[in-house]
Structure 1
Amino acid sequence: METLTLPYLFAMYLAIYLVARFVVFKNWSPKLRPEASSCLISLTHGTPAVFFAARAILSDPTRTFSSLNTSLQNFTLDYSIAYFLTDLLHYLVFNPNDVLFIGHHLATLFVFVTCRYFVYHGAYAILVLLILAEITSFCQNTWTLAAARKGDVDFAAKVYAFLSPPFYVLYTLARALAGPYFVYEMCVFYVSGAADSVIPRWIWVSWIVVVVMAISVSILWISNLWIELYRERVGEIEKKVR
């Protein structure tokens, strides 16, 4: 039954995407509907994935960076693999020129798939990183949907303005502070050779490279958002002074 989990989850995400596109966001402009549908499946994935991952980690008393994956950890990996496959399909169809996101999804899938189906070890490390990546999901996707409609819907503009500072703070704490620290801990463990008997060196090196690149892009992205927010607030103050 476990081997059928991934196809079932992929079908679930695909169904949610289609419902979002043709039902939930049917009144949105054709240009915005694909992005909004992508946000909805991201919402479906993000917060539940955090809870699944936390439970999978806490229920494993032998957890280390190289411990054998448990059934619950494998389910959580499948849950995320199904989401990233669906969203990758979305980008290939509607945004084939978005090389950054397509590359991100392919690299993420490589990490999840190798952990789940090739080495069967190391899920603890991957799931902690999943938590750090998805703990901002609800806020980020709500912020993204609001940003898409802030130009023509006043309520969306208010939600966008209200969410921006706390979202930026949470994202910075997770991606720019906790993320790098945890990756450092991973590096120390793997470089020691403690996992070489169960996780080939080329695989954990690949994991580290992918994660470091993802964190670097995240830090660059949030830095630009902070700069943009600062400029907006300065501009508002200058208008009031005038």
Structure 2
Amino acid sequence: MENSAACPIPLLLLFFFMFFTIYLVAYFIVFRNWSPNIRPESSSCFTSLAHGTPAVLLSTFSILADSNRGFASPNTDRQNLVLDFSIAYFLMDLLHYIVFFPKDVLFIAHHLATLFVFVTCRYLVSHGAYAILVLLILAELTSACQNAWTIANARKNDVAFAAKMYGLLSPPFYTVYSIARGLVGPYFLYEMFAFYVSGAAKCVIPKWIWVSWIVVVLTAISVSILWISNLWVELYRERTGKLEKKIR
């Protein structure tokens, strides 16, 4: 499939409207009886479910279906569609944070940085989507489990089933997340950096753009590793505490 620049904005708006509608359905219907303290976050997770796994499937299909699998290859229509799909989602979730959690600077900065990578790849250089989509796959691979885990975590103190689900999901979620973000992600980022620093992409991707991509991804991976490490420590303390109580 050849690269096309024909009217991408309407498709982007269509995706944004879709995610906006999903969020409203979650907020006003699915979680209408939930506490106002967790209702917005749960609605965000519900919307994320509509993005994460589909993004992984679409990205995988676009990579396997097209022959453009190089770090500097021109974007194909399929790859651009996935980028539009993800740009729309992150715009919607950014709006969510600005409205409900304007002081959550870390997540707002994360979304802005992610949008910068997607938008520059999609609309500015129109090359390098292969690398961005592989990173998207690694980032969203655990999306379904993570969102279910987040919702369970929000209700674990007042719903027994949620507490049980939180306990069951934590180990496998932490394990897959650690492998994707802590092992595969850094290795792929190294390969990506080695390619760009060699100058092989200088004719199609300006240095300031690929350097920005590397910095954004490296920062995201570093924060992810710190976050999951803290969760492993917390899980260990929880399990150790329960074991000590049983022994006593």
Query: Structure 1 length as normaliser, TM-score?
Result: 0.99
> 2:30 aligns to what?
24
Deviation, structure 1 residue 101: 0.2
Query: Which residue number in structure 1 is paired with residue 85 of structure 2?
Result: 79
Q: Distance in 2 between matches of 1:85 and 1:62?
A: 27
Structure 2 unaligned spans of 5+: 1-6
Deviation at 1:3, TM superposition (A): 3.3
Is 2:239 the partner of 1:233? yes
Structure 1 stretches lacking a partner, 5+ long: none
2:44 is matched with which residue: 32, 38, 53? 38
**1:3-152 alignment, distance < 5 Å:** 3-152=9-158
Q: Distance in 1 between matches of 2:103 and 2:231?
A: 23
**Counterpart of 2:94 in 1: which secondary structure?**
helix
Q: Which moved more, 1:55-64 or 1:41-50?
A: 55-64
Q: Separation in 2 of the partners of 1:98 and 1:62?
A: 38
RMSD over equivalenced CA pairs, Å:
0.6
Give the residue type in structure 1 aligned to 2:52: G
Whether contact under 8 Å (2:68, 2:130) holds in the other structure is no
Deviation string 1:77-98 (CA, Å, 9 cap, x unpaired) is 0000000000000000000000
User: Quick one: which of 180, 188, 192 aligns to 1:186?
Assistant: 192
Contact 2:121 2:128 in 1 (8 A): yes
TM-score (norm 2): 0.97
Cα separation, 2, equivalents of 1:199 and 1:57: 19
Per-residue deviation at 1:58?
A: 0.8
What is the rounded CA distance, in whole Å, between the counterparts of 1:125 and 1:62 in structure 2? 11
The Cα of 1:61 is off from its aligned counterpart by 1.2
Do the aligned partners of 2:68 and 2:75 also contact (CA within 8 Å) in 1? no
Separation (CA, whole Å) in 1 of partners of 2:225 and 2:66:
31
Q: CA deviation at 1:62?
A: 2.9
Matched, 1:167 2:173: yes
Residue 204 of structure 1 corresponds to: 210
- Aligned length in residues: 242
Determine the C-alpha separation between the residues in 2 that align with 1:38 and 1:157.
Answer: 20
Q: Structure 2: which amino acid aligns with 1:201?
A: K
Q: Percent identity?
A: 69
CA distance in 1: counterparts of 2:171 and 2:70, whole angstroms = 35
